[in-house]
Amino acid sequence: MSSKKHLITTAIAYGNAAPHIGHAFEFVTADIHSRYRKLIGEEVHFITGMDEHGQKIEQKAKEQGTPIQEFVDAYAKNFIDLDKELSIDYNFFVRTSDKKAHYKGAQTLWEKLDKAGALELKKYISLYCVGCEEFKKNSDLNEKEECPLHLVKPEIVVEENYFFKLSKYSDQIKKAIENDDLKIYPESRKNEIMALIERGLEDVSFSRPKSKVSWGIPVPGDDTQVMYVWCDALSNYITAIGYGHENFDKELWANTTHIIGKDILRFHAAIWPGMLIAAGLELPKRILVHGFITSGGQKMSKTIGNTIDPQELLKMFSEVTDYPGDALRFILVHEVPSFEDGDLTMGSIKTAYTAYLANGIGNLTSRIIKMAISNNVKRDISKISIDNTPLNNFDANGFVKFVAKSIRDVDEKISKEEAYKLIKTNEEQGKSMIFSYLDMLNGIADHLAVCMPQTSAKILECIRENKMPEKPLFARLS
Ligand SMILES: [Zn+2]
């Protein structure tokens, strides 16, 4: 019997800025699910990547006098570098500017939608904020009729657009979400999208005139238009697994988990399912929706000066550990809830490092291995196995908290049992106690394989070879 295929995706990042801490959180979360699903025997295919078209990128590149492709290449490199430093073990990195891998699939999807009668050309008079790269309604604007985010008046745009008749598919989308055929985590986000669908889904603008935006995928059969973000970017999830080419993996697509932020829930739980239904494709199985990360209770911003840069954290950790990526992985997922907003400050990050890594797993590893070596207790390593319910429910934060608690529990147990005293009066019993600590350390290292892969491998190596780590796994921050 072949194992169960499972496609895991992050949202694709917009290619006009360096990765922020929210990206790092989403990539690590997705990687934890991917590693766990592989461990329990699923055939996982994990994709991440970049959304690289649109007016915002085109304008910014022009302002800087950089060729657009070069502009997006530079940002893609930032993301690929961060993925590497965080041990994000993806199978494929999608880039929507990749003509060879992506265009054909996006255009095939467009043609399918057109054939199904889901598209229509209409004259469109609207307000458009370039900063948001989004059409606005009057009710979206502030009292000065400006975009409340960018504090500029949106452009009045009169143009011909193709529209996707999303309203036509409302009932089918609603039913799929209601029945959990497309399951939304958490329940509160499911309720949010159900309410939105019940208020009525409007048809969506699906293309832009080439005269306004040239940096995009050409609309098949109409060279005056390029695709707007929906068919261009959302399609990445299927083009990355062969859609539009000969090798589209339907079985893999049929068991898909999307991991996204709450700001793009409507795109993924309304527009995207509508497109898939219209094109006769299956819906993803589930969407995991995480919140935003604030700092000190406020949105991170350069003006306030409270931004937390993942690269800076990695640099800070690299001064005290050989595993800076693992340190950041653990702290992010321990401190930020899986399905709600979270808060991080430099203070809370350092406190977590000290409590869970320096005083936690780092200290526990030295303590147990030292005892084992000095009393000549050895243990073989068995195949990594994990059985933990929070990850079965797609809760990475619950899982990492469970691991942190196990570390604390073992540490307390060792302090209480005083094996070093017992071994002087009853060697056999003392040794079997130390053996049981190695056993527990082995169990913790197995769990860490999912959230701190390099640290886990190092601990398992120390147990197997009965040796101390060459230096503390996580030295103290100065
Ligand atoms: Zn705006």
Domain segments of the chain: what residues?
5-291, 310-465
**Residue range 179-194: mean pLDDT, rounded:** 98
Which tens digits make up the pLDDT trace of 44-54?
A: 999 999 999 99
Asked whether 336 and 397 are in contact (CB, 8 A), the reply is yes
137 C-alpha to ligand 1 centroid (Å): 12
How many whole angstroms separate alpha carbon 310 and alpha carbon 363?
25
Q: From 300, 293, 290, select the one nearest 343 (Cα to Cα).
A: 293
Query: What was the pLDDT predicted at 475?
Result: 98
Asked whether 81 and 310 are in contact (CB, 8 A), the reply is no
Q: What are the structure tokens assigned to 165, written together?
A: 């008749």
Query: What was the pLDDT predicted at 406?
Result: 96
262 C-alpha to ligand 1 centroid (Å): 18
Element housing 255 (H / E): none
438 C-alpha to ligand 1 centroid (Å): 56
289 C-alpha to ligand 1 centroid (Å): 23
Which tens digits make up the pLDDT trace of 344-380?
A: 999 999 999 999 999 999 999 999 999 999 999 998 8
Q: 190: burial class by Cβ within 10 Å (0-12, 13-18, 19+)?
A: buried
How many whole angstroms separate alpha carbon 194 and alpha carbon 178?
8
Query: What was the pLDDT predicted at 133?
Result: 82
341 C-alpha to ligand 1 centroid (Å): 23
R_g over Cα of the chain: 25
Query: What was the pLDDT predicted at 1?
Result: 46
**Residue range 121-134: mean pLDDT, rounded:** 88
| End-to-end Cα spacing for the chain | 54
Residue 135 has pLDDT above 50, yes or no: yes
Distance of alpha carbon 464 from its chain centroid, rounded? 33
**Residue range 193-211: mean pLDDT, rounded:** 95
User: Tokens 């590497």 sit at which residue?
Assistant: 84
Cα separation values, 82 from 93, 258, 315, Å: 13, 20, 12
128 C-alpha to ligand 1 centroid (Å): 8
pTM reported for the whole predicted model = 0.94
Q: From 335, 451, 325, select the one nearest 386 (Cα to Cα).
A: 451
**Residue range 182-188: mean pLDDT, rounded:** 98
301 C-alpha to ligand 1 centroid (Å): 16
Asked whether 252 and 243 are in contact (CB, 8 A), the reply is no
Query: What was the pLDDT predicted at 2?
Result: 54
Query: What was the pLDDT predicted at 350?
Result: 98
153 C-alpha to ligand 1 centroid (Å): 9
> 3-state DSSP call for residue 432?
helix
**Residue range 397-410: mean pLDDT, rounded:** 97
Query: What was the pLDDT predicted at 382?
Result: 79
Greater model confidence, 213 or 29: 29
**What is the share, in percent, of the chain residues with pLDDT greater than 90?**
90
27 C-alpha to ligand 1 centroid (Å): 26
152 C-alpha to ligand 1 centroid (Å): 7
Which tens digits make up the pLDDT trace of 323-346?
A: 999 999 999 999 999 999 999 999
81 C-alpha to ligand 1 centroid (Å): 30
What residues are neighbours of ligand 1 (ion), with CB under 5 Å?
A: 129, 131-132, 147, 149-150
Q: How many CB atoms lie within 10 A of CB 440?
A: 18
The two beta strands, 222-227 and 293-294, are unpaired
Question: Within 13 Å and on the Cβ side, how many CA atoms surround 364?
Answer: 30
Asked whether 197 and 240 are in contact (CB, 8 A), the reply is no
36 C-alpha to ligand 1 centroid (Å): 39
Cα separation values, 87 from 404, 423, 449, Å: 20, 41, 11
193 C-alpha to ligand 1 centroid (Å): 23
Residue 167 has pLDDT above 90, yes or no: yes
**Residue range 268-284: mean pLDDT, rounded:** 98
Q: What is the mean pLDDT of the chain?
A: 95
7 C-alpha to ligand 1 centroid (Å): 33
Domain 5-291 CATH (choose: 3.40.50.620, 3.40.190.10, 3.30.930.10, 3.40.50.300): 3.40.50.620
The two beta strands, 134-136 and 155-164, are unpaired
Which tens digits make up the pLDDT trace of 422-463?
A: 999 999 999 999 999 999 999 999 999 999 999 999 999 999
User: Domain 310-465 has what CATH class?
Assistant: mainly alpha
Which tens digits make up the pLDDT trace of 214-223?
A: 999 999 999 9
Asked whether 274 and 281 are in contact (CB, 8 A), the reply is no
